[in-house]
Structure 1
Amino acid sequence: MTKAVAESFPMNRGEGVYSYTQNSSHQRDGVNSSKAVIDEAIAEKLDILKFSTSDPFTIADFGCSTGPNTFLVVQNVVDAVKLKYQKCPSLSMHIPEFQVYFNDHIDNDFNTLFKSIPLEKQYFAASVPGSFYDRLFPKASLNFVHSSYALHWLSTLPSELLDKNSPAWNKGRITYANAPDEVVKAFKAQFAKDMSSFLNARAEEVVPGGLMGLLLIATPDDIPSPKSIFAGLFDLMGSCLMDMAKIVRDVQF
């Protein structure tokens, strides 16, 4: 039986004024802020003694989009891993080659991604299109997994949000802000299911001794999720979209 391909909504392609490439400074700030944490984790937790000295060190960035942030992430990881090898007496002369896999939805603008890849890159590069909620790599084939500002995007919209007979029907909203508790529970359940799928897939793919670094949007425990700044921003966006839809409908009729 052929598996249905989930609908994807990639970031704006190209390098124009409205592209993700030109509008991802917030994500870049997050990447820069997490660098020290990832460096420390690689220095203290990455078990390079378990890796073969003849195999390349493999890195996968899940949800890479079109750059340039993914290139910053990858180079940071490469530099930290090289330093780890250099400080290991038995492996300082055996620094491996690096193979990097850039992953995103099949509709992602990989052309822009590879057109802008740094000429001075210190790794081999390849793209792996597909949903990161599924298996994408062979068992025990990745040494380091990274994903930033991607895992908050659900694999699908909970079906009950569109069911008029469901208490979780989310009419007039695009998020869970200012919505009934049933809507919040539906989003939470889908997120839990997606995270389980992601972690189970990566558990198969990461080698023993490897690491995974994830950067996610979150809110403090004492702030209800619907009241977070992110939910508020999307609530405002939803209001604008509803107004636009009403204008289009009124013009047509």
Structure 2
Amino acid sequence: MACMSTESCPMNGGNGQYSYTRNSSIQRWGVEASKALIGEAVWEKLDTNFSTLFNIADLGCSVGPNTFIVVENIIESVKLKYPSPNPNSEGIEFQVFFNDLASNDFNTLYRSLPRDREYAASIVPGSFHGRLFPKSSLHFIHSSYTLHWLSKVPKELLDKNSPAWNKGRISYGSAPNEVVQAYSAQFAKDMGSFLKARAQELVHGGLMALIIPCLPVDTSPSECPLIAVMDLLGDSLMDMARMGLISEAKVDSFNFPKYYPTQHELKTLIERNGYFSIDRTEPLAQSTTHARDLNFQIFISHTRAAWEGVIKMHFGSDIIDGLFDRFMKKVLKFSPLISRHSSKQIAEIFVLLKRKAS
């Protein structure tokens, strides 16, 4: 089977029970937690020439509403730094580009646009692992909770003659080191492509703010709760295979295209690109309210909103309800896996990059 591409696997669209619109409060927490950091970044670090038009891109925007919170925060921060010298003048105009895969539900995004917005809105479909915009056309780029999604499954995982053949598993948490290395190598390729494209599109002195889920220091993939949860989903699929509901070969040919890098990996890849300075990198502080409010049902609903598309593309839609019922039972049995208080839990890292002058 060919390596799975994520080109047709956006977050769930619409406004239904398992839509991303109704199941993205976890990501919204990160967006809200980074608001002050973005404001400080604009005030202290933004150093670029523009006339009256300021271009912003949100990459991997999905369907809202989180992307609108981000955009409005950036705009308010820029207006604060560059106030209009004349109260009667219109001041800066803002153009916002909402980017996601071509299969994203842009209709829901457009219907949800704030009516009182202070910007012109444009949609730019396509993968952010390649070029999307003209050279030196953007002043601020934002992307959150997107870069851990790989552009495709590493081909070694599907090769029966490879030591990285991932038979019986759908991720790398409990897999041999060869599997982990295959995931890591694909992430490095994808991150390299992403940074190369953004370096061409961002003006000198422009900023890029990222929120990237990362593996904590001194934590192996097998110790990380969120990666272990993917193993539980894999166990649920194997249970269905043993019951004859799906074929075991179908499970063997499925691997989740997600990889959580370490902060060291991330820093190394950015430095290797050479076109950005790392002006800030820090974990977002966990909120006790956020941790308390993350119950099992919310976790499963959020997981389904994000993961259903890639599962459905491989297995079809008939197994989805049964699969997530089984998955829910396993998560309840191993409830500590989703504790936000775990020291081994994925850390949301805020990264601020500035485009170098050369």
Normalised by the length of structure 2, the TM-score is 0.64
3-state SS of paired residue (1:67): coil
- Would the aligned equivalents of 1:85 and 1:94 in 2 still touch at CA under 8 Å? no
* Distance in 2 between residues matched to 1:113 and 1:8, nearest whole Å: 17
* Distance in 1 between residues matched to 2:94 and 2:222, nearest whole Å: 42
Please state if 1:60 is matched with 2:39. no
Indicate how the Cα distance of structure 1 residues 59 and 168 shifts in structure 2: closer, same or farther if over 3 A, else same.
Answer: same
1:174-253 matches, within 5 Å, as: 174-247=170-243, 248-249=245-246
Equivalent of residue 114 in structure 1, options 106, 110, 122: 110
Alignment correspondent of 1:79 = 76
* Distance in 1 between residues matched to 2:152 and 2:37, nearest whole Å: 31
- Would the aligned equivalents of 2:158 and 2:165 in 1 still touch at CA under 8 Å? yes
CA RMSD of aligned residues (A): 1.9
- Would the aligned equivalents of 2:7 and 2:101 in 1 still touch at CA under 8 Å? no
* Distance in 2 between residues matched to 1:146 and 1:85, nearest whole Å: 20
Range 154-163 or range 168-177, more displaced: 168-177
The Cα offsets for residues 175-207 of structure 1, whole Å up to 9 and x where unpaired, read as: 101000000000000001100100000000001
Identical amino acids, percent of aligned pairs: 59
Equivalent of residue 130 in structure 2, options 108, 130, 134: 134
Alignment correspondent of 1:39 = 39
Structure 1 moving runs of 4+ over 6 Å = none
The Cα offsets for residues 107-140 of structure 1, whole Å up to 9 and x where unpaired, read as: 0000001011111111000100000000000000
Return 5+ residue gaps in structure 1 as ranges: none
Please state if 1:146 is matched with 2:136. no
Give the superposition deviation at 1:227. Answer: 2.2
The Cα offsets for residues 69-110 of structure 1, whole Å up to 9 and x where unpaired, read as: 011111111111111112x979xx783100000000010000
3-state SS of paired residue (2:34): helix
- Would the aligned equivalents of 2:21 and 2:64 in 1 still touch at CA under 8 Å? yes
Indicate how the Cα distance of structure 1 residues 196 and 226 shifts in structure 2: closer, same or farther if over 3 A, else same.
Answer: farther
* Distance in 2 between residues matched to 1:199 and 1:238, nearest whole Å: 32
1:1-16 matches, within 5 Å, as: 7-16=7-16
3-state SS of paired residue (1:216): strand
> What residue identity is the alignment partner of 2:13?
R
- Would the aligned equivalents of 2:56 and 2:95 in 1 still touch at CA under 8 Å? yes
- Would the aligned equivalents of 1:53 and 1:94 in 2 still touch at CA under 8 Å? no
* Distance in 1 between residues matched to 2:234 and 2:31, nearest whole Å: 27
- Would the aligned equivalents of 2:150 and 2:187 in 1 still touch at CA under 8 Å? yes
Alignment size in residue pairs: 241
Normalised by the length of structure 1, the TM-score is 0.90
3-state SS of paired residue (1:103): strand
- Would the aligned equivalents of 1:57 and 1:143 in 2 still touch at CA under 8 Å? yes
> What residue identity is the alignment partner of 2:67?
T
- Would the aligned equivalents of 2:174 and 2:221 in 1 still touch at CA under 8 Å? no
Structure ranking higher on relative contact order (CA contacts 8 Å, 6+ apart)? 2
Give the superposition deviation at 1:220. Answer: 1.7
